[in-house]
Structures are given as structure tokens and as C-alpha cells.
Amino acid sequence: MPCFNMWTPLLIVLGTLSACFGSDSSSGVVITSITPNQLQRTTARTLDLAIENLPELPGQLLCAFTIGETTVTTEAIKQTNGVKCATPPTKDIPSIPVGQHNITAKLSVRSSNGPDFVTTKFMFFDCNTYSSCTQCVSSDFPCDWCVDGHRCTHDTAENCRNDILITGVSRVGPSFRSGPAFCPTIRGTDIGSQEILVPSGVKKAVKVKVHIVGQFIVQTRFVCLFNIEGRFTKVNAQLLGDVIYCDPMEFTYNSSVSNINASLAVIWGGSKPLDNPDNVHVNIYKCRDLANNCGLCLALPEKYGCGWCESSKRCEIFEQCDKGLGAWLKRDHTCPI
């Protein structure tokens, strides 16, 4: 607690002058707890502030919430171990910057015509800022995910009626489904990899393992959405068991690099993507840019399926070497001299 000169008359009245010049320059006024200690930004509540050594002050007490440059005060009412005061009207709490989930206000208690005599921090969070189930239910804040509503909320009774609920890890109390392990997600390929390899220019049916809760998801239409060099391509998909089979499509890219990553989304119910927490993606490659001579080509990892096409004198997959008719050397062969 800093001591300002303007305080001095007040401090003498309070008899805390000595404390002010004490080694830690503390006046001894401390907020020991706030209940609730954080709040959903779009709601308003009365806070109970437990304050030690709250001085006897004449006149009205105020709670002052300062966020950025703006201060909003609300009336504070003295009670046995401190004060209670309302949080600011929600319209006065700025929205949370994109990509963040909370804002911190400086919270001071002051007399209406005096300086702050004790200050602390108070956090406003916003469950609505989480757009995926995994992020929502892993949050430090008490947020839950409504599966069909595809939204994160602080108030499931209000916003999640008749829906399947996944409770956040910060919620206390019993729960049927708690934490990100219950979120509808893309899990990886059938061999447990995060990368699906596809040669450029080849038609391929991509499949991924998924984890899904809720019969209503199973019954919806699925779509696979790929982003290749900023172009989006959408194909229908089927769910069989725990595998999503995307319809075949050609994966092609133009830039002269040996490989690119294309993002993958599996969308259900028209617009709701499954979470993809491990970033399962498609890697599209060109054998001929991975290796420009036979020796390098035959030394490429087997997973690419590249080989040396003798007619084109290029590193290619079998199907692309004279449309599968050319002389094609694979890994265990020897390069011609």
C-alpha cells in the first residue's frame, strides 16, 4: 500500500501514520478474499470483499474498477468483515481482445472523496471466447461445452438445455463427462500418425480416426474440408465405426516446393468442425522435387512410394511413371550408371 502525500491528513485521522512510515510502507489494509473471485464478463454480481483493518471512514465507500483508461465506480456497503459492492454494468466492461479469454480490472476500495485505500485485481473471463470444445473444457475458468449447440458457456442451465454437455476441468463437483478427452475430435490416421501423405496430382480418399459423443452427431452429414495453398475443397464423407472416410479427391499444388501441408477439417451438422487438437493434416509432396536424381530418389523414405522412372528420368510414384506403364525402379533396385 503506497503512501501519498495527499493522504497524510486522512492517515492522521486514521491513526495509521506510523504504519505508513513502516518498513514496508503498508497501511495494513488488506483484501483477503473476494467472493466470487472472478466473473463471466457478460454477467453482473455482488462481490463480497473481506478486508482486514478496514478503517472507519466517514461518508460513502466506493468500489472502483479500472480497466485500461476507464474507471467505473459502484457503491460499496460496509459489512462485518469488509464491504460488498456490485460489479460494473456489463456494457461498461470492454470486450476481451481476440485470442484472449480474460481481462483484469484493478479493483480499489475508496471513500467517495478520497484516494484508494486498498487495491487488488479482479478478473473478468468470457467462456464465449473459446471456439473449440478442447480449449473450452481445458480452460482455467469455469466453462462448459454444449456439443450440439457447439458453444462454450458459463451457464449451461441457460444455454445448454437438452444438449450433451462436456464439463470443464475447472468445474468442481461430479460430472458425467469432464475434460477434453470427451470432446468430439479427430484423433489421427489409422496408424496413429498426425500426417496423411498424398502425392501431388493423385486422387486419394483420406480417412481419419475420430472420437464422437452423441448419437445426433453420428446421424448428421459429414464433410471433409481441405485448405490447399489457401484454396478450400470440400468433399462428402462417411462415418463407419470410428473412421471418417472422405470421398476421393485430387490433391494438387502448384508451387515449386517439394511438399506442402494442407489443413483438414471434418465438419458435421453443416458447420461444426470436430476439434483437431493434434493438427492432423495432409502433406502433399512431389517425388521429383524431393529428389532430382536416381540415387537420391531411391534413398527416399519408403512412406513416399517414390521410385525412379526411367522413361521420364524423374523421381515419380509408380502410377505417374508413363501412367503406370514405364520402367520404374524402386528402393531395392540399383540406379543405372
Ligand X SMILES: *[C@@H]1O[C@H](CO)[C@@H](O)[C@H](O)[C@H]1NC(C)=O
What residue type is assigned to position 29 of the chain?
V
The answer to whether the peptide bond before residue 89 is cis (omega within 30 degrees of 0) is no
Is 37 one of the binding residues for ligand X (CB under 6 A)?
A: no
How many angstroms separate the Cα of 138 from the Cα of each of 141, 146, 156, 171, 289?
Answer: 8, 14, 16, 10, 41
254 binds ligand X (CB under 6 A): yes
**Cβ contact 51:85 at 8 Å:** no
Q: Under rule CB under 6 A, which residues in 101-130 are in contact with ligand X?
A: 101-102
Among 37, 95, 261, 311, binds ligand X (CB under 6 A): 261
Cβ atoms 186, 264 nearer than 8 A: yes
Q: What share of the chain is helix, strand, coil (3-state, %, to 5)?
A: 15, 40, 45
Q: How far is the CB of 260 from ligand X (least distance, A)?
A: 5
Q: Is the CB of 25 or the CB of 258 nearer to ligand X?
A: 258
For the segment 278-297, give every residue that binds ligand X (CB under 6 A): 283
Q: Pick the closer one to ligand X by CB: 257 or 327.
A: 257
Site string for ligand X, 140-179 (x = CB under 6 A): x---------------------------------------
Which amino acid is residue 149, in one-letter code? G
Q: How far is the CB of 110 from ligand X (least distance, A)?
A: 25
- Dist. CA 320–CA 318, nearest whole Å: 5
Identify which of residues 219 and 254 has a Cβ nearer to ligand X in the complex.
254
Name the minimum Å distance from CB 182 to ligand X: 21
DSSP labels, 2-68: ---GGGHHHHHHHT-HHHHTSTT---S-EEEEEESSEEETT---EEEEEEET----SS-EEEEEEET
Nearest to 65 by CA among 74, 77, 56: 74
Residue numbers 211-230 binding ligand X by CB under 6 A: 229
313 binds ligand X (CB under 6 A): no
- Segment near ligand X (CB under 6 A); pick from 20-28, 156-164, 240-248, 256-264: 256-264
Read out DSSP for 72-133?
Answer: EEEEEEEETTEEEEEPPPGGGSPPPPTT--EEEEEEEEEETTS-EEEEEEEEEE-GGG--SH
- In the complex, minimum distance from the CB of residue 170 to ligand X, in angstroms, rounded to a whole number: 9
User: Quick one: 75 or 278, whose CB is closer to ligand X?
Assistant: 278
Distance, in Å, from the CA atom of 60 to the CA atom of 241, rounded to the nearest integer, reads: 66
Among 27-35, 200-208, 213-221, 252-260, the segment contacting ligand X (CB under 6 A) = 252-260
Residues 284, 264: Cα–Cα separation, whole Å: 12
17, 260, 265, 335: which one contacts ligand X (CB under 6 A)? 260
Sole window of 21-29, 144-152, 209-217, 255-263 interacting with ligand X (rule: CB under 6 A): 255-263
Q: Which three cell numbers stand for residue 303?
A: 512412406
Give the residue, chosen from 231, 303, 330, 333, that forms a contact with ligand X under the rule CB under 6 A.
231
Footprint of ligand X on 58-77 (CB under 6 A) = none
| Contacts with ligand X, 77-106, as mask; x by CB under 6 A | -----------------------xxx----
Under rule CB under 6 A, how many of the chain's residues touch ligand X?
A: 11
Q: CA-CA distance, 61 to 226, in Å (whole number)?
A: 58
Interaction site with ligand X (CB under 6 A): 100-102, 140, 229, 231, 254, 259-261, 283
